[in-house]
Amino acid sequence: MIPKTVQEAERRLAELRAEIRRHDRLYYELDAPVISDAEYDALMRELIAIEEAYPELVTPESPSQRVGGAVAEGFAAIAHRSPMLSLANAFSPDELRAFDERLRRALGIDVVEYVAELKIDGLAVSLTYEEGRFRYGATRGDGLQGEDITANLRTLRSIPLELERPVSLDVRGEVFMTRSNFLKLNAEMEAAGKPPFANPRNASAGSLRQLDPAVTAQRPLEIFVYGIGYLAGATVGTHWEALQLLKDLGLRTNPHARICRGIEEVIRYCEEWTAARDTLDYAIDGVVVKVNDLAAHELLGATAKSPRWAVAYKFPAEQAITVLREIQVSVGRTGVVTPVAIFDPVELAGTTVTRASLHNQDLIEARDLRVGDYIVVQKAGDIIPEVLRSLPERRTGSEVPFRMPGECPECGAPLVQLAGEVAVRCVNTSCPARLIEGIVHFASRDAMDIDGLGPALVTQLVRAGLVSTPADLYALQAEQVASLERMGERSARNLMEALARSKDRGLARLLFALGIPHVGAGVARSLAEHFGTVDALIAAATRDGGQALLSVPDVGPVIAESVSRFFAEPANQKLIADLRAAGVVMTEERTAPGEGPLQEKRVVVTGTLATMSRKEAEDAIRAAGGIPSGSVSRNTDFVVAGEKAGAKLQKARELGITVLDEDGFLALLGFREDERAE
């Protein structure tokens, strides 16, 4: 229920925010949730509903602000208040003993007290809090400055936006992904025809460095914090006290840290976790060993690269030798054909492994792999099986080199390799291997938005022989759908109505729905608005190798070649004809520039504006007769620079293009001061 007054809304929002923060801490920091996911979601829905009704009460620290903001154009640099140094490595107990001997000699003591912590295999970050509120965060970078990934870090529920006390500090931590969530993510990536991540660390780094925070918000990232780079408003004398302070502030620390008196206790800790690392649901690649006494840190100092008071003990990699029996190829939704190694079973990291992706022909050649070879395999990040190399010294002469097939193994269509890509693709959208996922994508919300047509129903339709291309969806009869498992007359009728509605989505969404490689929703919109009809687009795409496409904003050579190849494929030409015959709209309303102060001016918006979103700014440009653009060139008339404007602002200055701040932009649009305040 929405409160009727601002005062009531403020009180309820304060209650909800405190309650949600409490449950976040119980779930992530204490691992002791007391409510179900559904109950948590209900609290969040109420919070969002009240904030939508009273937008002036939204604060940056509200849990609702974790969903991601505007897409960034790049990452600005942030200087660390204290360097984020890397650690020296130790690979054996003897190297740990040598490390300890150097420290004892430097400190003039017989026994050093250490803190041993698990070394999480993720991405190191720094979080800055001012008076208890999260202000910004950055990657390690070169140690002196990192990339500003504040918007992405805000999406992690395991990072509190407000601490339990108003302390100012820089927190060091490791963002990671659990094994189970990593496997789920890779399954989703493969189902969408996208290349899977090699290991959890790559998945974490790739997810955290997305230019669109909304993508990061969908990725299951977590964090453990492990140290303090700067602190004001509290004091600690040991590293162990620092960990306890972080925990008391509501930050998530790893529960397996241990105080060790002397290096032999550290070695026993390392041996324990070398044997037990597979019992965790997250990847660790070693143990970090730190002197506990912070005063000793000052005495020992650091080299240019690493502190003298800490070392990382690295676990030995678990590898096995086996025989490569076969290289198979699989086809994803976007047509990418991936070679897969099939080898004799081996035990790695607690599981039996028989196959591993080889990604592409270039990798196979770089690692000199032949069918029949003895090969060395390991689990990258203890998760993904990986073929490291062949053992040519064991060859008998019967081994057979591998070459990617020239035709799709599923449909027989010629395989192509687009310029600038290592991937080989089947471009036939009717290929059986691509069909189910392709139709799921066709029906998705940002494409044709066919309500009720999910993976389970699509699979039934394909297996029943009712659908073999997206166009077949529009030939379905209600009684055919009603006869399928878990369907009935009402569900069938609803699907028929959804299919009928989807015919009017327009050319932009149709182009995105077709799953053309490299054509996302934004590029599809640019193509649709530029050409207006599918016939005009096809004519441009199939003439002179698609050179005419290069005149479209946001379309470069790679995209142009991809679109040209797609429409040159006979099966895709037939698909367009069938969709047209079914009544699918293949035109886009081309809005003529209006009259106004920006008449026919090209305007680029970069950075974050305080008074409007990026979309609202672009709509305002169109309403004023201008043409919003995504890239800066000599044809650009104005660049509107908000906060954290990046490379586009720099390029505008280099080209001598007029740069407007937000007030100047609003003034040019004709907004009065009172309208701006509103």
Residues classed as catalytic? 119
CB-based contacts of 233, cutoff 8 Å, min separation 6: 131, 165, 166, 167, 168, 169
Tokens of 444: 């998705």
3-state SS assignment for residue 421:
coil
Tokens of 501: 């509605």
**Can you tell me the distance from the alpha carbon of 655 to that of 635, in angstroms, rounded to the nearest whole number?**
10
**Can you tell me the distance from the alpha carbon of 165 to that of 129, in angstroms, rounded to the nearest whole number?**
11
Q: How many residues does the chain have?
A: 678
CB-based contacts of 214, cutoff 8 Å, min separation 6: 67, 68, 71
Q: Is 269:93 a contact under the CB 8 Å cutoff? A: no
**Can you tell me the distance from the alpha carbon of 378 to that of 397, in angstroms, rounded to the nearest whole number?**
25
**Can you tell me the distance from the alpha carbon of 446 to that of 428, in angstroms, rounded to the nearest whole number?**
22
**Can you tell me the distance from the alpha carbon of 460 to that of 467, in angstroms, rounded to the nearest whole number?**
9
Count CB atoms within 10 A of the CB of residue 436.
Answer: 18
**Can you tell me the distance from the alpha carbon of 658 to that of 668, in angstroms, rounded to the nearest whole number?**
12
Closest CA to 594 of 649, 655, 669, 541: 669
Q: Is 273:312 a contact under the CB 8 Å cutoff? A: no
Tokens of 30: 């204490």
Of the chain, the end-to-end C-alpha distance in Å amounts to 26
3-state SS assignment for residue 171:
strand
Closest CA to 148 of 156, 139, 160: 139
**Can you tell me the distance from the alpha carbon of 642 to that of 650, in angstroms, rounded to the nearest whole number?**
13
| Complete DSSP assignment for 78-116 | EE-SS------EE-SHHHHHHHHHHHHHHHT-S--EEEE
**Can you tell me the distance from the alpha carbon of 151 to that of 59, in angstroms, rounded to the nearest whole number?**
14
Closest CA to 629 of 526, 531, 559, 506: 526
| Complete DSSP assignment for 380-410 | ETTTEEEEEEE-GGG--S--EE----SB-TT
Q: Is 88:304 a contact under the CB 8 Å cutoff? A: no
| 10 membership: H or E segment, kind and range | helix 6-24
Distance set, CA 420 to CA 234, 339, 416 (Å): 54, 19, 12
Tokens of 124: 């190191």
